[in-house]
Chain A
Amino acid sequence: MEQFLREWRQDAFNKHHYDTAIFFGDKLMAITGDPRDAFWLAQVHFSTGHYSRAHSYLMQQGLVSKSSACQYLAALCLIKQSRYDDAMQILGDHTPPHLLASPSTSQIDYGKNTRRKARVKIESDFGSLGTGTEHDEDGEATHIKFEAAMCYLRGTIYCKQNNFDRAKDCFKDACRIDVKCFEAFDELMTNNLLSPDEEWAFLESLDFESLDTAANDGGKTAEMVKLLYTTRLSKYKHPDRFEGAVNALIKKQPGLSENPDILQSQAELAFTQCKFKSCHAQCERIVALDPHNFSIYPLYLACLHELNERNKLFLVAHDMADNHPDEPVSWLAVGVYYLTIGKISEARRFFSKASLMDPHFGAAWIGFAHTFAAEGEHDQAIAAYSTAARLFQGTHLPQLFLGMQHLQLQNTQLADEYLHTALGICDSDPLLLNELGVVLYNKESLSQAIKMFKQALEIAKEIDSDPKAWVATRANLGHAYRRIGELDKALQCFAEVTAAAVKDANIYCAIGLISLQAGRPWDAILALHEALAISPQDPIAQELLEKALKESAGKSDSLGLFRPVIMGTDVSDILIQSEDEIERFVENRTRPPGPKAKARAPGSTRTRRSRRTLGIEDDSLMEVSEKEG
């Protein structure tokens, strides 16, 4: 009968008929008093959301000390009730050190400890409840699984308490204890708790071979899991290895080629490389495959923002806010929309809403900070970026933004520090290198700045990014060249910028300035006209133009103002009007006999070369027999 009731309870549980499950589970427990039945009853209560009830059942039965599963469930109940300290008490605030040793030794350890053995026994009972078979080794594995899960819980608690360093350690431990603890791994990756180098080192340290024993298929599973894990790493370092992993995965399991997670990882890579268009295309694919995949949305939104797709953003934001008002990412979408259309205060409201719903939502914090930065409220922006930086330890973006803010505040030293921190995380972001270059430029170390800008451009070229990503850097390089007096190189830089179709009055101003410096006022005037055509009220351009015009007028002849001009239609038809010739022409006119001919100035005995006289009375083409040298 007991067995029958158990099966009934289990069946009801699987069907989410919680009332049935509770009713019969309760009866069953009253009949048997078995701790296992108590555990399952608690499980049902947990599923219905009655966390405190579940917790108290577990405590009543004193199961917590007996079984790691119960311990885990109890702690989870407490976390759900936000009773973090109590949960921590149940879990203990440190990872049991023996678990971290290699798996084989830890197994030996179990044998020594009878209490553990007893626990393992119960464990195996719980673990095998579903299957009905009992096996010692299974129990062992289940125990380790729960230990890992508890490690993970410890991590989440530290996270909630904003103790990210310890949280990070706990998550890492969880993965080390049980490589299958993907929750912990995911937590590490999605929150970017590790720096790129740490991530790769960590991945290498994980023990995928342990999966072999379970799957027993000659390492195929282990390899695939490792590849899957690889796709989750941040994309700063080793894009080649990343792509290799994706390709290998798709080759082995063609079904994965359209998998949203794989696509997402590709999109992330594209985004990291500033290839917004291809990233956008990937995101669209993912959203089409799975519109409820919230994890893609921050990336998707960022892409849409970069590409200035206002209308799409509008639709996405509306869809999200209508259908998923409980998801913070919905409000992030609304915020991004407002940021894109330039309504800063509305954007701030929604970013703040998103960050209130999930205080650990880094994207929302960054957006929040952006709104302050956009309004020039540097101090508030810095505060918000700092929060983001604490949440997002593994990305360089918050540090980079902090550096940029300090740069705007002219705190060169601080900016330098932040940017170098960012550089430590990611040394391949052209934007970051550009900012570093600007810092160096401000510090007057121009040659180093040039080096930095060049490096940024090289990277930009390497990753084949949109011109948008490198235009500013190219212009900066131009400015640096200008400052050290390499005018030609500077001009070349700016020429490339203008060739990339950037309509920026400042660029043309710079060209004008350089041309002026190089003593080519005519070129300067042309460039400055361009500048003023783009922004007619630009005071710098106006001032420079005035200067250039004066200069050009001041040495009009170097401009070729009075230079000989081709007036014919063919090369053979060239008519040269040199100064000499004009004089001659005028002389000719003044000479003809007349009453006042003698009044002509007597001193005009200029040397003249023999030439056919110019046609005066007849209005035909004036021709010259001899060309001027």
Chain B
Amino acid sequence: MAAKIDLTQIHTDLQVAVQNCSDRCLYHSAKWAAELLNALPPMDPPSKPPTAYPHRTTYHQFPVPNQRQQQLEFAELSKYLLAKTYFDVREYDRCSNVLGGCQSSKSRFLCLYSKYMAGEKRREEEMEFILSPQDGHATNNKEVLGILASLENIQREWEREGQDEDPWILYLYGVMLLKQKNEVEARRALCKSVNLYPYHWGAWLELATTLNSLEDMNSILPDLPSHILTNIFHLHTNQELYQFSEKVHAQLTEIEKYFPRSQFLKTQRALLHYHGREFDEAETIFDGIMKEDPHRLDALDHYSNILYVMERRPKLGFLAQLATQTDRFRPETCCVVGNYYSLKSEHEKAVTYFRRALTLDRNFLSAWTLMGHEYVEMKNTHAAIEAYRRAVDVNRKDYRAWYGLGLSYEFLEMQYYALFYFQRAASLRPYDPQMWQAMGNCFDKMNRPHEAIKAFKRALIGNSYSPSTPAPQQQQPALDPDVLFKIGMMYQQLNDTKEAAKYLELCVKEANAAELEPTINTSKARMWLARWEFSHGHYDKAELLANELVQDGIEIEEAKALVRDSRSRMAAMGSASRRSTMNPLE
């Protein structure tokens, strides 16, 4: 992609980008660009005297606005400055009002953007508390339609007058279209925007939300500019789509060469490990980030998830304290604290914190999903469903929420619903056996053994498709005996005893190989196999299996009876053969 990378150029461009983003009150993009700027290796001191340092001279616009725009901006400068101060103190309506009739693209952008922000503010106020009837779809941002109309007018004007397109306006257009769930058009607009100005990370992020699968991503890659930012976007999207193969890691390494100190990239690395269930590596990376930048709260919610899965309670507690000291009213902080309480099984308190996170930012994905999990723990299935639903509304790529939805509906015995959600989850993580297993169970309950078998077989495959280095502390058997048992049972339902026997045998074998404690399933498998062998006249095998069962101490009576039967049959057979001329398989 990015053919040649000129670090000095990137350095300058990023400086300009920070300025450009803050000019438009896109604070997060500005922050991101500034972080990336500081992640560059230290530049050589300027050879020229400081007056000629690029800092000053490059504070012009990029791409250099045409003369018309410059003139307009100059004419509207005082108005724009006033409006910007209003925006900075969050007087959005006032800001858009000041910029009412302005003509320059910059002022127009700020005018419409502040209008949007005002609408969002009102919308959140109208939504009342989290999960209230007003929350969610019932309340819309009432400004969006008007803004869309204005944006379309501006674009028509460009066309009419043959003016250059403005990347920021296109970005806003894309965001509005996304609000309208018009993904196709939004993707087009955002693609244009990033092509015109690749240093606006916000546009890339919005573009990423329009991509639901790898196919989607591959389809737009040719339309993207050849640029280092495109590489970062590609990597980020891979991460979002739960890709963690060597290739992605290599891609990340490649980018890290240019930005060796980027914490954003380190976080990405940690997340890649997390998706691959390599928790130790992820933890190490996050530890490093914490050391370098102790007040960084971004993505700490993921860190707390990792610690949660690893059940590192003290460390999670420490993290919660640390985050609270930095800023107790950041959604990330609330999620960390919520996770801590959840680990302590104080689910009500956890929910309180997740709710707080959502009050601070309703689009904070983690909190919705985690809150769903808490509600599941609290056996409040309907609330859980609602929370998960909101989670997938915010981001359709969250397989945990889809999976949670499936489980909740399964709990409510609404198999058809559950199946659909498991399907969605599985399509996001096709290599994750959990999803396929859940789907198989669903098909089983729906009395559709054929599909169930297919799903379970997929689960088998997924199990072995694990990351390059499996986590050492949970050395799973290569094939899950439970799944094998399920497949066997399905074949039995289909009266295909041969296949059933095959899978059950495999099940017993895998269990033995992994030296697992006997479980109900493996015991049942043994019992079934014992009977099957018995009915086929293989009494020795039947006896062997039954004896194993007796040793395991499960269903002893039945097993003992089978042992007795087998022995008597074998004895009978022995005497019969001595007497000769009797069919052994009678």
Contacts and interface: CB of A to CB of B under 8 A. Distances in A.
B427 interface: yes
B389 A546 contact: no
Given A501-B145, A561-B423, A601-B499, A550 B416 contact: yes
Contact of A619 (B251, B457, B464): B464
A589 B451 CA distance: 21
A98 B446 CA distance: 93
A622 B498 CA distance: 29
Contacts of B156: none
Given A562-B458, A567-B431, A600-B502, A573 B138 contact: no
B19 to A, nearest CB: 34
A601 B498 contact: yes
A565 B430 contact: yes
Nearest to B146: A277
Contact of B446 (A501, A534, A553): A553
Interface string B121-151: 0000000000000001110100011001000
Nearest to A568: B245
A622 B464 CA distance: 9
Interface stretch (B4-12, B348-356, B371-379, B465-473): B465-473
Interface residues of B, number: 58
B509 A594 contact: yes
Contacts of B145: 467, 500-501
B466 A582 contact: no
A599 B502 contact: yes
Nearest to A620: B468
A579 interface: yes
A215 interface: no
A585 B506 CA distance: 13
A562 B454 contact: yes
Given A533-B389, A533-B393, A567 B502 contact: no
Given A501-B140, A556-B451, A622-B465, A566 B215 contact: yes
A619 to B, nearest CB: 5
B134 to A, nearest CB: 13
Given A549-B417, A617-B478, A619-B470, A534 B215 contact: no
Contacts, number: 117
Contact of B467 (A530, A599, A619): A619
A31 interface: no
A295 B550 CA distance: 99
A533 B136 contact: yes
A596 interface: yes
Interface in A556-609: 556, 559, 561-562, 565-571, 573, 577, 579, 582-583, 585-586, 589-590, 594, 596, 599-601, 603
A332 to B, nearest CB: 27
A573 B245 contact: yes
A522 to B, nearest CB: 9
A533 B245 CA distance: 36
Interface in B479-508: 479, 498-499, 501-503, 505-506
Contacts of B393: 533
B416 A553 contact: yes
B502 A552 contact: no
B430 A552 contact: no
A358 B505 CA distance: 94
B137 A503 contact: yes
Looking at chain B's contact residues, the main secondary structure is helix
A498 interface: yes
A616 interface: yes
A184 interface: no
B461 interface: yes
A550 B501 CA distance: 32
Interface in B405-459: 415-417, 419-420, 423, 427, 430-431, 446, 448, 451, 454-455, 457-458
A530 B416 CA distance: 17
Contacts of A569: 214, 238, 243, 245, 247-248, 251
B140 A577 contact: no
Interface string A473-512: 0000000000000000000000000111101000000000
Interface residues of A, number: 48
Contacts of B321: none
B344 interface: no
A501 B143 CA distance: 11
Given A565-B430, A616-B464, A599 B505 contact: yes
Contacts of A500: 145
A589 B513 CA distance: 13
A566 B214 contact: yes
A331 to B, nearest CB: 30
Given A556-B451, A568-B247, A594-B509, A533 B458 contact: no
Contacts of B427: 565
Nearest to A467: B145
Given A534-B137, A562-B458, A501 B247 contact: no
B430 to A, nearest CB: 4
A621 interface: yes
Contacts of B455: 562
Contacts of B389: 533
A334 interface: no
B180 interface: yes
Given A566-B214, A567-B430, A501 B461 contact: no
Contacts of B214: 566, 568-569
Given A566-B214, A573-B245, A582-B454, 11 more contacts: A498-B180, A501-B145, A533-B136, A568-B214, A577-B461, A582-B457, A586-B457, A590-B502, A601-B499, A619-B464, A620-B468
Interface of B: 136-138, 140, 144-145, 148, 180-182, 213-215, 218, 238, 243, 245-248, 251, 389, 393, 415-417, 419-420, 423, 427, 430-431, 446, 448, 451, 454-455, 457-458, 460-461, 464-470, 478-479, 498-499, 501-503, 505-506, 509
5 tightest A-B contacts by CB? A549-B416, A565-B430, A601-B498, A533-B137, A569-B243
25 contacts: A498-B180, A500-B145, A501-B144, A501-B145, A549-B417, A553-B419, A556-B451, A562-B454, A562-B455, A568-B214, A569-B245, A570-B247, A579-B454, A582-B458, A585-B457, A585-B460, A585-B461, A589-B478, A589-B479, A589-B506, A590-B502, A601-B501, A617-B478, A619-B467, A621-B465
